[in-house]
Structure 1
Amino acid sequence: MSGCPEVTSLGKGDSLHQQVLASFPLCDMTEEDLTQNPQFCKLLATLAQHVDPTGLTAPLKTELEKAEQKLQSQRCRWLRSESLHTGLQEMIQDHCVRKHHTTLPPDQNMFFETMEKCLLVAQCVRQLDLGDASDQDQPTVLGLTPQHVVDLMPSEKSVQRMRQGLPRQLEKHLKEKCLSFLSYCQPDQENGSEALKTSKLFHLSAQLDKDKKRAESLKASAQENTVLLQRQTQLYLSELTECIRLLQSLVLDHRLKVQTELDKKKLDYFEGKCELVLQKIKTEMVEIQLDTYTPDSIAAHRKIREKLESELKSCKAEKQSVESKLASFEILGKEFEALAEEYCRLRQEMEMKHWALNEFAQYSDK
């Protein structure tokens, strides 16, 4: 960058950052942004030598000032004519109000009527006058031309008389308005003498200019304070966000450690409680057994158990002998199986016939 040697003369480190931020107060930047982008910081520092804090170059600012001066001149001219016209309208309105409440001299009525007609004619002429248009191409309103309206002007004598008395009446009206404005701006001077009020009027413009400059200074100071407050707010929010992040990490780590300890303590507690419940169950089982089985019943149960075990042993021996016989029968094959089935069938028939004979013998004895 060609402007880098000039940039180094502006300052280094934090001073350069502060100068860049001061040169561009409308930009939403922080020192952290400039620190992370040093080349961009140098570019802004070089650019600050060619533009003002609002972003305008010197030639453009000069042209803007000239345009503002021209606009201010045109505005003053328009305000002068507009205030004069408004003052005349107010004088006519005040006259109409006074005329309805009191009887006014004829010459005064003639003065205000002539002034009102002149104002109406001037307004109509201004509305009908279309500027540089030629007479052939100039459109008309209801076939009227400015000359038709000018013919409605009062007599030259009445207009001349009105013009002679107009400055005095206008000065009187403006003085009353100024005194009213003075009473509004300085209520403590409302009951003062006429000479004191007149003296205060001469200093009212300077006082208003002073108040205006003071208000503009306060406004500029308020804007600077607003920009400074916005920067401080951004820094505060960034620092607060970082603090919240650190606090969250600390809380999370502490919570994990504490949670591990709590889980271990809860596990020990539940293990102890489970062991206690098991011991209680065993105790209840022993108490139930003691309440249910007496020494005599235990001895009887032992005898019954011994008898059942002996019978079970004999049954197992019988089962083993039967299984060995079956195994020997299975060796003989399918023919023996058919003979065995036939033997079973004949045995069942014999048992049935034996039972029938017994029954028949019982009925025969009867």
Structure 2
Amino acid sequence: MSGSTETANISSLGKGDSLHQQVLASFPLCHMTEEDLIQNPQFCKLLATLAQHVDQTGLTAPLKTELDKAEKKLQIQKLQWLRSESLHRGLQEMIQNHCVRKHHATVPPDQNMFYETMERCLLVAQCVRQLDPSNTTNQDQPSVLGLTPQLVMELMPSEKNVQRMKQGLPRQLEKHLKEKCLSLLSYYQPEWENESEGLKMTKLSHLSAQMDKEKKRAESLKETCRENTVLLQRQTELYLTELIKCIQLLQSFILNHRLKIQTDLDRKKLDYFEGKCELILQKIKAEMVEIQLDTYTPDSISAHRKIREKLESELKACKVEKQSVELKLASFEILGKDFEALAEEYCRLRQEIEMKNWALKEFTQYND
């Protein structure tokens, strides 16, 4: 029964791509992609079922209700604190402004007494609060220099001055707050600074609503920016995934076609270098002919050619004779070392015969 209910809930969410998109929208804080959900369908069903019980932040409905109550209570306490804190700071600013005015101009005695009484009351109240923290904590604190709240309260101004200060305080505080509000209005809209006071007060009454409107607009833009950031992250992940696939495809294409492309490239390079070498050879030949024409006359070139032909024919005859002698020498070397000794003896005897023939010829010449 529970299984059929969950199936119905999943069907209500959507099917196929719409289901994946709704699951991703229900959990924007999770770094998931649609491909992850496609590869894990059971996990996708689990998230789709879980989305019926939790919000986008992962909180259940009862916990969300308790959290909202706690936040409202905290907002009320913060508002109370802000009211007292703003009032206290306003009174301190009034005292500071009075001190500045007192140094630059003469202040009436009653006004001077008013601010001195207020300053003294604030100091006494602050000291009493420091000495008696029972209103904020349940722990006892040791006394400071043996002082007690009762002793500090004795430093309060006279009751008459306090009552007089309390009577004039609302008017002075209202005046101070009015000046601050007008300063805030001038800072927020400088073009309103030269307007009349009545028009300023009218615009000031609408300032809070206008600032709330702009605050909501800023929050809306912030939420839109957050959604765009999440969308950008998903699109970036998808882009990187597709980019990796393209790179892998490109690598396979390069590996499959590299040899063919390399062969064609090598053949083209070889044709290029062959053509370049042929061009260089033709250029060398042309330079040689040009050098010959610049160096020799046609008659000397003809004579050199005849000399070259004669030398080449003699060289060819010498090579033939050398080849025949080498063949004879090779045939003699086949007979071995014994023939080598016999050949040496033959050479020696021939040299002696030549020497004796030369001596005989010379002797015969001198006898004649």
Q: 2:81 aligns with which of 78, 81, 88?
A: 78
Residue 173 of structure 2 corresponds to residue 170 of structure 1: yes
Deviations 1:335-366 (A, max 9, x none): xxxxxxxxxxxxxxxxxxxxxxxxxxxxxxxx
Deviations 1:38-92 (A, max 9, x none): 1000000000000001111001111111110111011001100000000000000
Q: Which residue of 2 aligns with 1:65?
A: 68
Q: 2:154 aligns with which of 128, 132, 151?
A: 151
Q: 2:27 aligns with which of 2, 24, 30?
A: 24
Q: CA deviation at 1:187?
A: 1.4
Q: Which residue of 2 aligns with 1:14?
A: 17
Q: Which residue of 2 aligns with 1:213?
A: 216
**What CA distance in whole angstroms lies between the structure 1 residues aligned with 2:239 and 2:326?**
91
**What CA distance in whole angstroms lies between the structure 2 residues aligned with 1:226 and 1:267?**
56
Q: Percent identity?
A: 70
Q: Which residue of 1 aligns with 2:191?
A: 188
Q: Note closer, same or farther for the CA distance 1:202–1:311 as it changes in structure 2 (3 Å cut).
A: closer
Coordinate RMSD, CA, aligned: 3.4
The letter of the residue matching 1:255 is: R
More displaced, 243-252 or 223-232?
243-252
Q: Note closer, same or farther for the CA distance 1:94–1:258 as it changes in structure 2 (3 Å cut).
A: same
Residues 1-366 of structure 1 mapped to structure 2, 5 A cutoff: 2=3, 3-131=6-134, 139-264=142-267
Q: Note closer, same or farther for the CA distance 1:172–1:293 as it changes in structure 2 (3 Å cut).
A: same
Q: Note closer, same or farther for the CA distance 1:296–1:238 as it changes in structure 2 (3 Å cut).
A: closer
SS of structure 1 residue aligned to 2:64: helix
**What CA distance in whole angstroms lies between the structure 2 residues aligned with 1:177 and 1:108?**
20
**What CA distance in whole angstroms lies between the structure 2 residues aligned with 1:106 and 1:165?**
14
**What CA distance in whole angstroms lies between the structure 1 residues aligned with 2:65 and 2:30?**
23
Deviations 1:76-122 (A, max 9, x none): 01100000000000000000000111111100000000000000000
The letter of the residue matching 1:37 is: N
**What CA distance in whole angstroms lies between the structure 2 residues aligned with 1:219 and 1:9?**
31
Q: CA deviation at 1:241?
A: 2.2
SS of structure 1 residue aligned to 2:146: coil
SS of structure 2 residue aligned to 1:131: helix
**What CA distance in whole angstroms lies between the structure 2 residues aligned with 1:128 and 1:318?**
135
The letter of the residue matching 1:119 is: L
**What CA distance in whole angstroms lies between the structure 2 residues aligned with 1:22 and 1:245?**
31
The letter of the residue matching 2:210 is: Q
**What CA distance in whole angstroms lies between the structure 1 residues aligned with 2:193 and 2:257?**
74
Q: Note closer, same or farther for the CA distance 1:71–1:263 as it changes in structure 2 (3 Å cut).
A: same
Q: CA deviation at 1:7?
A: 1.4
Q: CA deviation at 1:4?
A: 3.2
**What CA distance in whole angstroms lies between the structure 2 residues aligned with 1:173 and 1:272?**
97
Q: Note closer, same or farther for the CA distance 1:247–1:163 as it changes in structure 2 (3 Å cut).
A: same
Q: CA deviation at 1:252?
A: 3.8
Q: Note closer, same or farther for the CA distance 1:317–1:139 as it changes in structure 2 (3 Å cut).
A: closer
SS of structure 1 residue aligned to 2:32: coil
Q: Note closer, same or farther for the CA distance 1:292–1:192 as it changes in structure 2 (3 Å cut).
A: same
Q: TM-score, normalised by structure 2?
A: 0.74
Task: State whether residues 24 and 33 of structure 2, in contact with CA within 8 Å, keep that contact through their aligned partners in structure 1.
Answer: yes
Pair member with larger Rg: 1
Deviations 1:258-279 (A, max 9, x none): 10223455678899999xxxxx
Q: CA deviation at 1:255?
A: 3.1
**What CA distance in whole angstroms lies between the structure 1 residues aligned with 2:67 and 2:330?**
124
SS of structure 2 residue aligned to 1:15: helix
Q: Note closer, same or farther for the CA distance 1:54–1:313 as it changes in structure 2 (3 Å cut).
A: closer
Q: CA deviation at 1:188?
A: 1.5
Q: Report the count of equivalent residues.
A: 308
Q: Note closer, same or farther for the CA distance 1:269–1:237 as it changes in structure 2 (3 Å cut).
A: closer
Deviations 1:149-197 (A, max 9, x none): 1000000000010000000000000000000001111111110001001
**What CA distance in whole angstroms lies between the structure 2 residues aligned with 1:264 and 1:181?**
82
Q: Note closer, same or farther for the CA distance 1:269–1:100 as it changes in structure 2 (3 Å cut).
A: closer
Task: State whether residues 332 and 339 of structure 2, in contact with CA within 8 Å, keep that contact through their aligned partners in structure 1.
Answer: no
The letter of the residue matching 2:182 is: L
For structure 1, the residue ranges without an aligned partner over 5 or more in a row are 275-286, 323-366
For structure 2, the residue ranges without an aligned partner over 5 or more in a row are 278-304, 341-368
Q: TM-score, normalised by structure 1?
A: 0.75
